[in-house]
Structure 1
Amino acid sequence: MSKLLLIGFSFGYLALLFGVAYAAERRSAARRSLVSNPYVYALSMAVYCTAWTYYGSVGRAAHFGLEFVGIYLGPTLLAPAWWLVLRKIIRICRTQRLTSIADFISARYGKSAALGALATVVCVLGVIPYISLQIKAIATSFEVMAGEADMGGLDDNTALITTGMLAFFTIIFGVRSVEATERHEGMVLAVALESLVKLVAFLAAGLLVTYGLFDGFADVFDRAAAVPALQKLFTLHTTGIGGAQWLTLLLLGMAAVLLLPRQFQVSVVENVNEDHLRKAMWLFPLYLIIINVFVLPIAFGGVLRYGSQLDADTFVLALPLGAGHRWLALLVYLGGLSAASSMIIVETIALSVMMSNHLLMPLLVRMPAARGESARWFAYLGQVALQSRRLAVVLVLLLAYGYYATVGHLLSLVNIGLVSFAAVAQFVPVVLGGLYWKGGTSQGATAGILGGFAVWFFTLVLPTMIAPGLLPASIMDHGLFGVGVLRPFALFGLTGLDYLSHALFWSWFCNVGLYVGVSVLGRVPTGLELRQAEEFVDAFRPRPAASAEWRGAAPVLSVRALLRGFLGKKRTVQALQAFATRFPDALPPEPIAPADADPRLLAYAEKLLAGSIGPASARLLLSSAMG
């Protein structure tokens, strides 16, 4: 197909998504929400199925058979526990007005600004390779459709144009307001629609291969069984996949569906009703099962038709094109565009909020101008927060493109994805510990994440820098600095595990050990850490309004000015009216300038600000405003 035709369909499809998102926003403004629906919620969670699922699973199945199932079986096994774990996270985030996984970790451990910044850095460095995977998938599929693919050699201009186009749509979709807790109903509906498109497109490709090019599942598997290289893919044992590797894939899938920034965004921040989880607990696993039904037939069909002539990641497109079904191939291409673009949009929105709230705002609120009653400064900070998120979207996508251009184009889609999954898995100890153990401290959480992240980088990221010549190959055989026990795939002499299981074992070993050890043996937790621990662990118990932690004096007018700077005049009036209805004695109708704010109002204002700039920055800013 001509490039102009493909570009036209690509832009037309994204314009359709924009129209859907715009319509959803209009309905939301009229209080007729389209996303307050358990089916839309469950479909939005299917953003878990990215280009990795769409293209990479086929490529993985063509080389390792059933191994790809582990990444989807993990979330399926975890789904019944969502009512205990995910519902608790949703309840906490709604009560505390938290908008990201970094907010959650920071708030749990004493609203620590340093811990929030660390969690953000880990997310950005861990997820950027995953975003580059989506850019690679879009660029590859475009080149395949245009008939210019050269065994994976891609036109970098295609990838760069893709990056710029997605940055534009991401900013329009989700970075409109400084209040991050404001739900992005348009984005959610667009993502749900994309989930349907990629499912229908992938099933169409699977039906063509299974019943068009072959005579059904039995015929595909019979022909594959006659090829020795494919016959060994029928069982896990013959592919050399051991129990440790299978368990690792299950654990990574469980961690990813809960803690990836995009999954946290759609399943927690965008959740409208906790009861929607009841439907998602069975509908989301069903989606995972259906979209993977035709993975093996497409993989085996591609190998039977093309052998090793083509990259197995491109079989989904190559088979319809090779059979002369160009328009079906175009539908499949749009399905791949859906899988990749939905991930990029949601992921970059989540990362941009984290970068603004935890890297930039803690620095700005510490400036001397943040002290006192400067309404102009507060309004300026609100605009800085909004513009910084837009710049963060561009920065994240440029970093992802840079990774793709230097390293990512040399790696398979699934390998890149597994590296990112292992990165967010470093949050598992501090998140689960924070939910169920009151003894965890900010020092322990910081030590655990730092230790686990360092091991992750050494065992998984550092080896990928050897192929492009960024590091010497001797590190793999002789260890870092020639120290034998510092080999990335045999750290401290541990052998016999695949590289992924080896990395997860050592990273979690360091992570859990440091988290528990430092929490138990380190300093006594502060009063704020203890209060936050109680609020998180006992989230389902009714608690009085938090006011004991605010003892200083701040004029009511100063608090109003602070809120107006970030929420706007209309939203501030609505919020204060709601507060006055609940606590009529805490907010006089027209306060005079010297009137000091009630501690309950300060606690309420802190939570409102946390939805805009994060819990750590909100506390710092309110403390500074109080002097």
Structure 2
Amino acid sequence: MIGQMLFVPLLALVYLACLFMIAAYGDRAARLGRRLGGPWIYTLSLGVYCTTASYYGGVGIAMEAGLAFLPIYLGPVIAMFLSPLVLYKMLRIAKAYHITSIADFLAARYGKRSKLGILVSCIALIGVAPAIAVQLKSIAVSINLLRSGSVHDAPALANDTALYVALGLAAFTILFGTRQVDATERHQGMVLAVAFESAVKLVVMLAVGGYVVFWLYAGPADLSARAEAAGLDRLLTFDGTGMSGTDWLLMALVGGLGFLFLPRQFQVAVVENQDPGHLTRASWALPAYLLLFLLFVLPIAVAGILQEVPVPDLTILQLPIDHGAYALAVAVFLGGLSAAAAMVVVETIALATIVSNDLVLPFLLRTGWLSVAASADPSRLVLLIRRLAIVLIVLGGYLFFRLVGAHLTFIEFGMLSLLAAAQFGPPILIGMYWRDANWIGAMIGLCLGFAVWCYTLLLPAFVTAGFGGEELLARGPFGIDLLSPHSLLGFRALTPTGHAIFWSLLLNVLGLVLGSLLGHATGLDRTQAEMFVDVWSRADATRMWRGEVRIRDLRDMLQRFIGPERTAELFAADARRLGV
């Protein structure tokens, strides 16, 4: 019994150690000047979109609403088909202006406003908590199910597997991604490990699907006949989803926006990209990856219903356990661990960079607690800030899990984060093509969209978890039915999620447009707008500054922030470029 209890955690540690070795190999290759991030690696790294909310939750929602799991994957497919218009331009802008995060992107576009960067940072930090919470929940319940055959949603703190998972993932991320200060340097090792994890979870999904269809049943025809006999045909119809056509469009929209603007997606798709040409292959290879990933979702869901699996979100793990395929069950656990670890690592590294660059360091500089002119080396302080940020971000996800974890499905966790990140879509997409969009409109739009997200999606999640407010959901505040979170202005034609998507994005866009038309743009606003909108024709856009600085002073300052070794590499590379 003790051996079985220790086996799964030890296996998880061994697997994470293997991932660390893969990342270390990639980083070592990068230091030697070898580029390992080809188009296939880039494509697989984009698969970090499929977290445990997809890995476990896709089957869970299919058991309840059939094809309802599809729209959030149609969005990324459409986004990749439109990548020549959107993602390619984002890459060009990020590389031209040395942008290292989604907060940097928005702050730079709208007049280099630090206030906007702070707002984006806060939205990203709050919005990511549900996504991290579902990763912790999935690993914890998987370990409990493999060890004891039961799931414990909210045990005592000292016995909470999710807490130890959170601390372990935080430590793993610190070792994984904060070994250097330079935020502009790509994490080639991290991308390589994430690509490996994407391959692992795809292989496991196909293996489980094949096991269910061809081992538990005598093939697709047999499973289909049993489903028909059990009256499960509704799972294969549009009506069985309980969604309207508008709901489908809105879910696909938020899936596409989340795929582009989740901090982890921006990190792997834009910041870590080594060659914009990789988008050519990714534009069709990633949709193919998603198709394979989802290929067996419905068959597994049908089998779960026929086998009366008690927890829909854990069907892909429960079925092998119930039929004695323990090796396959362990493989399923490792696939889920891959999905969770990849998400947490990339997301927290991206957010830690945002916290240090857009929140903490500017505050320290403005208050005088940190001086650029000081002789002290702040590089260790920067690393400490990022490491503390990683721990706090993961613990924030754990706190969200403890508060509402037992009351939300995996997909509901995922939708919370997707819609929060989708709020970045209007100011980025409109800002890349409309010169007159300004920072006032962007601030108003983001505040309105985020406020509606909190009111229509986050607040109901806490009410569902038992934090009161049932009357507010049913009748609106003070009995004003028109202000009910699930039916604003009496609009009841959509599902609660579709309703939140519609109102948050609508008010976001309206706030951006009206605020930009009525607000005053400064010269810097107009300059930055032109640099982003006309990025293709402004080859010298990054050379606008005409001041002077001594090389020695520049070298001394850089050494304090990125270290003498990296500084020497940069100056040597520039000397070679200039031929001096």
How far residue 550 of structure 1 moved from its aligned partner, in angstroms, is 5.8
Alignment partner for residue 528 of structure 1, among 514, 520, 524? Answer: 524
Distance (whole Å) between structure 1 residues aligned to residue 372 and residue 145 of structure 2:
60
* Correspondence for 1:61: 62
How far residue 490 of structure 1 moved from its aligned partner, in angstroms, is 0.9
* Correspondence for 1:332: 332
1:543 maps onto 2:544 in alignment: no
Range with greater deviation from structure 2 (140-149 or 61-70): 140-149
* Correspondence for 1:565: 560
What residue identity is the alignment partner of 2:320? P
Distance (whole Å) between structure 2 residues aligned to residue 355 and residue 112 of structure 1:
16
How far residue 221 of structure 1 moved from its aligned partner, in angstroms, is 1.8
Offset from partner CA, 1:300-342 (integer Å, 9 cap, x none): 1011012xx5111111011111111111111111111111111
SS at match of 2:310: coil
Alignment partner for residue 414 of structure 2, among 413, 417, 424? Answer: 417
Offset from partner CA, 1:76-132 (integer Å, 9 cap, x none): 122121122111111111111111111110111111111001001111111110110
Alignment partner for residue 433 of structure 1, among 430, 434, 438? Answer: 430
Q: Is residue 448–residue 507 contact of structure 2 (8 Å, CA) maintained in 1?
A: yes
Distance (whole Å) between structure 2 residues aligned to residue 357 and residue 427 of structure 1:
18
Alignment partner for residue 207 of structure 1, among 203, 207, 210? Answer: 210
* Correspondence for 1:610: none
Q: Is residue 66–residue 236 contact of structure 1 (8 Å, CA) maintained in 2?
A: yes
Q: Is residue 115–residue 446 contact of structure 1 (8 Å, CA) maintained in 2?
A: yes
What residue identity is the alignment partner of 2:20? F
* Correspondence for 1:73: 74
What residue identity is the alignment partner of 1:516? V
How far residue 369 of structure 1 moved from its aligned partner, in angstroms, is 6.3
Distance (whole Å) between structure 2 residues aligned to residue 294 and residue 172 of structure 1:
35
What residue identity is the alignment partner of 2:500? A
The 5 A counterparts of 1:85-484 are: 85-150=86-151, 157-228=160-231, 230-306=232-308, 310-368=310-368, 373-376=373-376, 379-380=377-378, 382-484=379-481
Q: Is residue 139–residue 154 contact of structure 1 (8 Å, CA) maintained in 2?
A: no
Distance (whole Å) between structure 2 residues aligned to residue 317 and residue 153 of structure 1:
20
Distance (whole Å) between structure 2 residues aligned to residue 200 and residue 146 of structure 1:
24
Q: Is residue 181–residue 382 contact of structure 2 (8 Å, CA) maintained in 1?
A: yes
SS at match of 2:481: coil
What residue identity is the alignment partner of 1:566? F
Q: Is residue 448–residue 511 contact of structure 1 (8 Å, CA) maintained in 2?
A: yes
SS at match of 2:335: helix
Distance (whole Å) between structure 2 residues aligned to residue 151 and residue 577 of structure 1:
57
Q: Is residue 141–residue 152 contact of structure 2 (8 Å, CA) maintained in 1?
A: no
The alignment yields a C-alpha RMSD, in angstroms, of 1.9
Distance (whole Å) between structure 2 residues aligned to residue 449 and residue 372 of structure 1:
32
SS at match of 1:82: coil
Q: Is residue 375–residue 561 contact of structure 1 (8 Å, CA) maintained in 2?
A: no
What residue identity is the alignment partner of 2:242? G
Distance (whole Å) between structure 1 residues aligned to residue 253 and residue 139 of structure 2:
28
What residue identity is the alignment partner of 1:64? A
Offset from partner CA, 1:464-499 (integer Å, 9 cap, x none): 111333232111122124333221001122222111
Offset from partner CA, 1:517-563 (integer Å, 9 cap, x none): 1111111x222221211111111114325454566x76654433322
Offset from partner CA, 1:435-482 (integer Å, 9 cap, x none): 111111111111110011001100000011113332321111221243
Distance (whole Å) between structure 2 residues aligned to residue 58 and residue 461 of structure 1:
24
Offset from partner CA, 1:389-410 (integer Å, 9 cap, x none): 1100000010100100111221
Distance (whole Å) between structure 1 residues aligned to residue 281 and residue 222 of structure 2:
36
What residue identity is the alignment partner of 1:383? R
* Correspondence for 1:10: 12
Q: Is residue 438–residue 534 contact of structure 1 (8 Å, CA) maintained in 2?
A: yes
Distance (whole Å) between structure 1 residues aligned to residue 201 and residue 540 of structure 2:
46
How far residue 583 of structure 1 moved from its aligned partner, in angstroms, is 7.0
Q: Assess, with a 3 A threshold, how the Cα gap between structure 1 residues 479 and 29 changes in structure 2: closer, same or farther.
A: same
Q: Assess, with a 3 A threshold, how the Cα gap between structure 1 residues 375 and 545 changes in structure 2: closer, same or farther.
A: farther
* Correspondence for 1:621: none
What residue identity is the alignment partner of 1:56? G
Distance (whole Å) between structure 1 residues aligned to residue 70 and residue 486 of structure 2:
24
Distance (whole Å) between structure 1 residues aligned to residue 316 and residue 119 of structure 2:
39
Q: Is residue 38–residue 279 contact of structure 1 (8 Å, CA) maintained in 2?
A: yes
Q: Is residue 356–residue 385 contact of structure 1 (8 Å, CA) maintained in 2?
A: yes
Distance (whole Å) between structure 1 residues aligned to residue 223 and residue 353 of structure 2:
47
How far residue 570 of structure 1 moved from its aligned partner, in angstroms, is 3.0
Distance (whole Å) between structure 2 residues aligned to residue 5 and residue 575 of structure 1:
47
Range with greater deviation from structure 2 (74-83 or 149-158): 149-158
SS at match of 1:540: coil
Q: Assess, with a 3 A threshold, how the Cα gap between structure 1 residues 127 and 373 changes in structure 2: closer, same or farther.
A: closer
* Correspondence for 1:593: none
Give the gaps of 5 or more residues in structure 2.
none
Identity within the alignment, % = 42
What residue identity is the alignment partner of 2:111? G
Q: Is residue 459–residue 488 contact of structure 1 (8 Å, CA) maintained in 2?
A: yes
The 5 A counterparts of 1:545-624 are: 546-549=542-545, 557-579=552-574
Distance (whole Å) between structure 1 residues aligned to residue 200 and residue 469 of structure 2:
44
Q: Is residue 248–residue 500 contact of structure 1 (8 Å, CA) maintained in 2?
A: no
Distance (whole Å) between structure 2 residues aligned to residue 151 and residue 128 of structure 1:
21
How far residue 509 of structure 1 moved from its aligned partner, in angstroms, is 1.8
TM-score normalised over the length of structure 1:
0.88
Distance (whole Å) between structure 2 residues aligned to residue 557 and residue 460 of structure 1:
53
What residue identity is the alignment partner of 1:145? L
Q: Assess, with a 3 A threshold, how the Cα gap between structure 1 residues 556 and 504 changes in structure 2: closer, same or farther.
A: same
TM-score normalised over the length of structure 2:
0.95
* Correspondence for 1:601: none
SS at match of 1:466: helix
Distance (whole Å) between structure 1 residues aligned to residue 40 and residue 151 of structure 2:
41
Distance (whole Å) between structure 1 residues aligned to residue 371 and residue 169 of structure 2:
39
How far residue 505 of structure 1 moved from its aligned partner, in angstroms, is 1.4
What residue identity is the alignment partner of 1:134? Q
SS at match of 1:238: helix
Distance (whole Å) between structure 1 residues aligned to residue 477 and residue 578 of structure 2:
62
Distance (whole Å) between structure 1 residues aligned to residue 95 and residue 372 of structure 2:
30
SS at match of 1:298: helix
Q: Is residue 445–residue 508 contact of structure 2 (8 Å, CA) maintained in 1?
A: yes
Q: Is residue 59–residue 298 contact of structure 2 (8 Å, CA) maintained in 1?
A: yes
Q: Assess, with a 3 A threshold, how the Cα gap between structure 1 residues 24 and 578 changes in structure 2: closer, same or farther.
A: closer
Distance (whole Å) between structure 1 residues aligned to residue 86 and residue 542 of structure 2:
24
What residue identity is the alignment partner of 2:442? A
The structure with the largest alpha-carbon Rg is 1
Q: Is residue 531–residue 541 contact of structure 2 (8 Å, CA) maintained in 1?
A: no
* Correspondence for 2:516: 519
Q: Is residue 151–residue 311 contact of structure 1 (8 Å, CA) maintained in 2?
A: no
Alignment partner for residue 504 of structure 2, among 502, 507, 517? Answer: 507
